[in-house]
Amino acid sequence: GDSVTQMEGPVTLSEEACLTINCTYTATGYPSLFWYVQYPGEGLQLLLKATKADDKGSNKGFEATYRKETTSFHLEKGSVQVSDSAVYFCALTASGGSYIPTFGRGTSLIVHP
């Protein structure tokens, strides 16, 4: 079946440091790929997405590129802020008729001033 593997946290950084959170997936065909963010005490919200190979999703300074050859969708940001502290989930939805997503376990990011 489909699966998503993301790096374990917590990831602890100082403000203005570079961020990479690794995400790899297993799925047949061409799934849609997502990063969701969950701020403390809130629900998940979409951060960015990519629906086909080589697409780059971007939002709020975060980026991720859909790499079919390495089955990866790593999340990057050049300079993190304290307000980026949250849990980040990588997810996929398979192509075809399925609307059931597969989520990774989440990676907690803590940014210190």
In the complex, least distance from residue 106 CB atom to another protein, rounded to whole angstroms:
5
Cβ proximity of 107 and 19 under 8 Å: no
- Candidates 14-22, 40-48, 63-71, 72-80; binding stretch for another protein (CB under 8 A): 40-48
Cα end-to-end span (Å), the chain: 41
Should residue 34 be labelled a site residue for another protein when binding is judged by CB under 8 A? Answer: yes
Write out the binding residues for another protein, residues 70-109 only, by CB under 8 A: 89, 91, 93, 99-101, 103-106
Should residue 32 be labelled a site residue for another protein when binding is judged by CB under 8 A? Answer: yes
Which tokens go with 69? 């050859």
Max distance between CA atoms of the chain, in angstroms, equals 45
Distance CA 20, CA 58 (A): 14
Q: Which residues bind another protein (CB under 8 A)?
A: 32, 34, 36, 42-46, 49, 51, 89, 91, 93, 99-101, 103-106
